[in-house]
Structure 1
Amino acid sequence: MRLSTVILPVRRWHEGGRDEWSRAEELGFHAAYTYDHLSWRTFRDGPWFGAIPTLTAAAGATTRLRLGTLVTSPNFRHPVTLAKELISLDDISDGRVTLGIGAGGTGFDAVVLGQEPWSPRERADRFAEFVTLLDRLLTQDAVTAEGTYYSAVEARDIPGCAQRPRLPFAVAATGPRGLRLAAALGQAWVTTGDPKLFESGTAEESLEAVRGQIGRLGQACAEIGRDAAGLEKILLSGFTPGRPLDSFDAFVDFAGRHFELGITEIVVHAPIPDSDFAMDPALFERIATEGLAQLSR
């Protein structure tokens, strides 16, 4: 199992932002991700910086740590411009980028460009078209494609990604279409559990929900002749019932039970005081440095 972190882009780079990323590397995290939003929930009226510039700066502040979005969505992105930014970021980081990508939610980002809210069907259609075109853009020197929602006309992406054939996709999905997309184009799959259980469900119900998601992912892989064991399975914590980050022992139990289900990477949020992600920094660092070792005892 791997342990990673999410660093939300809420601090100015020279006022603690840079230090968070370099400290994540020092603590031994496998990867450090950030949300790719223009604003997010309770942080809407405070500082919030762009994901790609932040990750580019983080690439210069680290040397080993993998970097990525968790997650990017079509809400305010286009595959052609995103591909160019990702190729540049992958080059600057010397091949340390993972693209977490999902269909996106219905929050601020969904209407910030003045568009009408998308129906669930349109959102799923856009997601599939977006990821499929992005895959082509990141693996071919020149792409022309005409889609229902996204098109490209002789889009050039030379020299391509530092990672070959392209940087890995971590596809966030729980529905049938998204899981098929993860099976077809993902190098990893991302879940936050079942959101319907967050407020009123139990830890046991959440485990069963994740077990079911992994099973359906396996079925999607089997349908195309892919071995699901080769697909990394990432859990972004913080959105399941219970309080697994209240103590070290609680985290070890939480991580161990998800490892038994087949989760291969758990992501914990870096502490942000006076927020939903408030946490004792000493506990966060202990989880980073001792958490996985405890699982092997």
Structure 2
Amino acid sequence: MAIVLGPNQYGKAENRVVRTQRDTPRHEIRDINVSSALRGDFSAAHLEGDQSAVLPTDTQKNTAYAYAKEQGLTSIEDYGLALARHYVDDVEPVQGARIEIEEFAWERVSIDGVEHDHTWVRRGQEVRLAAVTVEGTADAQQTWVTGGLKDLVILKSTGSEFHGFLTDPYTTLVPTTDRVMATSLVATWHYSSLDVDWEAAYAGVKNVLVRTFAEVHSLALQQTLFQMGKRVLEAYGFIAEVRLSAPNKHHFLYDLGRFGLENANEVFHADDRPYGLIQASVLRDDAPAAGPAWDAYTGLV
């Protein structure tokens, strides 16, 4: 029986890069966490300790910071594309590069109703995501881009039901026609085109997801997730597939009857674990292949 080296990659993970634009008195800021992973024939490094084909991970770190200056950071997708193409086009042993980016949002401080030019507070909402994979030589190159978000905590106090479910001797859950539904949403989407206004697309998709969560009278979180993905695809023809992962942040009605108090869906115990985890993909039946970045990035198979 032979023992052989399997698929492998290497890179620099979680480079924290903050880029400020100071060209005018009103500054701009982008705050990201970027990871790179390179693929190619690096077998000599694994089998013989030969590093001659290995671009150091420290160099990848430096490149992430240098490209924030040289290429700018107007959008994380364009920045990721520039990084990935640099590694594949300019570093001879590299046959594929994958860039994953998280972006943390800031909002301007407002003083007496006027936005300050160079002071921000961290906005405690979702984290924006992007993943870029580039493979092949310049004359036969393939590129895949996914966008997304995570940690979007969203809650509706009514408009959600859960009943008619399968039961067995261990079932204790009480059916309900009026419950709190809450989740910390992870959503990722695969672009079928690179001719996209990344900033507008992200804002638009987020708006569709949130609006659908609010508007759909839900008989199950699964139903809501499907409608969220469906409406994104209906709104944006350049998105081929949406994947959603939603932990059910349970809110259980607290028993106040013991104290002689009525509790008409007003007071709940927020139970963070264990939690139901609902995951789904919604796609066009003619959607192109999402590429090698997809499953590992989303955590869905």
**TM-score, L = length of structure 2:** 0.30
Which structure has the bigger radius of gyration? 2
Structure having the higher strand fraction is 2
